[in-house]
Structure formats: C-alpha cells, structure tokens
Amino acid sequence: MRYVIADVFTTTPFGGNQLAVFTDAREIPEAWLLPLTREFNFSETVFVYPAAGEGHARIRIFTPAAEIPFAGHPVLGTAFVLAGPLQLERIVLETGVGDVPVTVEREGPKIVFGWMEQPVPRVEEFAEADELLDALGGVESRLPVEVYDNGLTHVMVKMEDAASVARLEPDMGRLAALPQLGTSCFAGSGSEFVTRMFAPAFGVPEDPATGSAAGPLACHLVRHGVVEAGELILLAQGEQVGRPSELTAVAHGSAEHIDRVVVGGAAVVVSRGEFRLPPLGS
C-alpha cells in the first residue's frame, strides 16, 4: 500500500498542511481506511481510485474522525502528486461534491503552483453566533457571522486585527459541540489577511492551511464589500501551529452573486513509502 506525503500550501518542506496520498487504494480493505488515516494523524489523508465518471481519478478524503466529501488541501495536494506522472496540465478529481478541476503551472518539468476550482458555497446566517463567539473567548465579529457550505461548512468570524487572531485561545470542547465543521477567524486589509481555522469535532483542533475555507473567505469578503469581485486575496495561516502556509483565493461575479471560486497554492512532496500489513483476520 504505497503512499506519498506532500506539504500543501507551501514551497518549503515541513511547512503548510501535511497530506498522505495512497496513490492506488483499490486493494486496501474498507476497514483499514480510517485506521491508516489515524496512523498518520494528519488533518486529512486521501485514497485514490480509478475514475467513475469523466474525471482522471476518484478520491476519498478522511480526517482522523471520519470521511468527508470535500476538502481543499487534499484536492490540491493530490493534483500535485498525480498530475506530474500523468503529464497533465489540468487534472479533474472526482470528489463527494462532484468533479473538481485543478490547473497546474510548471517551471520546466516541475509543478510549482495549482489553481483549484471549488464549488460555489451556499451561505446563511449562523444561528448560534453568540455561543460561537463566547466559545472563542468572548470576541466580537466585525462582519456578520455567516456559515458557508461548499461540501464542508465553515463559519466566518472577522476579528479586529492580526494580533487579535493570534491571541485566540478557543474552548475546543464548546466548539466541538456546535453544529458546524470549521470556524475560520481572520483579519486583514487590502488583499492580505491572516486566518486560523478550528475544527475539533473532526479531530483537527487547529488546521495549518484550509483550502476549503479560503474560497468561502474570499466570497465573504466580496459579499460584504471588503474586496472587489475578481480580486486576488493572500491568506497567511498556520503560524500558531508551527507550519506557516500561504493560500491564494479569488471569488468572481459580484457581491450579489458569486459565480466562480478559485483557490491556489503550491505543494512539495517530502516522502514516499509503503505499508505492508498482514491480511485482515490473520
């Protein structure tokens, strides 16, 4: 059972968000998928299968707690791992929310950047905003507290400044009890923002880089007039967990109607290996 480990949303080994990719999961028993994920204990692990439709490959994504239909850094990282040997400029990965295309940029033969087209998220007011802000330490949000769903759900909380984001010490138990997957706390101005994302209910107390939240964050900023539609934003994440990450996101359309969401970043392969385990029941 061969795997590749990539650090995603970084150009530097040991930065970004760690990802394990099992490049051919056809012979891996279903009962081993979650234990293998927990063995790595990364935010997510990917298992690759032959395409079921028009894509190049089908992927299943697991956190240490459960399988999830979509996530950003697993899609981007898997694109880096697969597009190289397949000699593709555009790879389409089949996920639990549909086909997600990733366009890669190269310097010579080396892939150096990828652009992922994400599902346009649904948005609504977050009903438990008061409880959420209290669990974050009694903070205030400078924009409406809204939840975005692009296959995963993320609640957006705008803090006063970067220092207030860095000081956050949320009550993880209370966050885990609230009905949302991730809480994205951010601050910034112009095109540069800092963000932290907490998802303790899925075994990820704090994520180093969250591609599935970057697109909704761009949407949130466009919808509330902080940035213009089509404007690239740069996100810094992961400093507090010792894995600095850089994400790029853009929401196209208008404040009234977002029609396209793209998230970009780099990745670097840091390891290859294999598991050799006895057959189940032996």
How large is the average pLDDT for residues 40-67? 96
Tell how far CA 94 is from the center of its chain: 16
**29: pLDDT confidence band, cut at 50, 70 and 90?**
very high
List 48's β-bridge partners, or say none: 59
The per-residue pLDDT for 278 is: 82
The per-residue pLDDT for 277 is: 84
The per-residue pLDDT for 125 is: 95
pLDDT higher than threshold 70 for residue 21: yes
- Close Cβ partners of 220 (under 8 Å, ≥ 6 residues apart): 123, 143, 146, 148, 156, 158
How large is the average pLDDT for residues 164-192? 93
Q: Judge contact between 213 and 206, C-beta under 8 A.
A: no
Mean pLDDT is lowest, of 164-178, 184-198, 220-234, 267-281, for: 267-281
The per-residue pLDDT for 282 is: 61
**100: pLDDT confidence band, cut at 50, 70 and 90?**
very high
Catalytic residue selected from 44, 117, 206, 246: 44
How large is the average pLDDT for residues 132-155? 96
Q: Distance between CA 203 and CA 192 in Å, rounded? A: 28
pLDDT higher than threshold 70 for residue 70: yes
Retrieve residue 141's tokens: 């949000």
Q: Is the dihedral of CA 96, 196, 147, 92 positive or negative?
A: negative
pLDDT higher than threshold 90 for residue 2: yes
How large is the average pLDDT for residues 148-160? 96
- State pLDDT tens for residues 7-16: 999 999 999 9
Which domains, and CATH codes, for the chain?
A: 2-119+267-274 (3.10.310.10), 122-257 (3.10.310.10)
Consecutive H or E run containing 34? helix 30-40
Consecutive H or E run containing 33? helix 30-40
pLDDT higher than threshold 70 for residue 65: yes
Q: Helices marked H in 51-170 — which ranges?
A: 72-86, 129-135, 162-166
HSE at residue 213, side-chain half, CA atoms within 13 A, is 29
Retrieve residue 248's tokens: 């790029």
**55: pLDDT confidence band, cut at 50, 70 and 90?**
very high
The per-residue pLDDT for 109 is: 87
- Close Cβ partners of 89 (under 8 Å, ≥ 6 residues apart): 83, 103, 104, 106
For the question of residue 239 being annotated catalytic, the response is: no
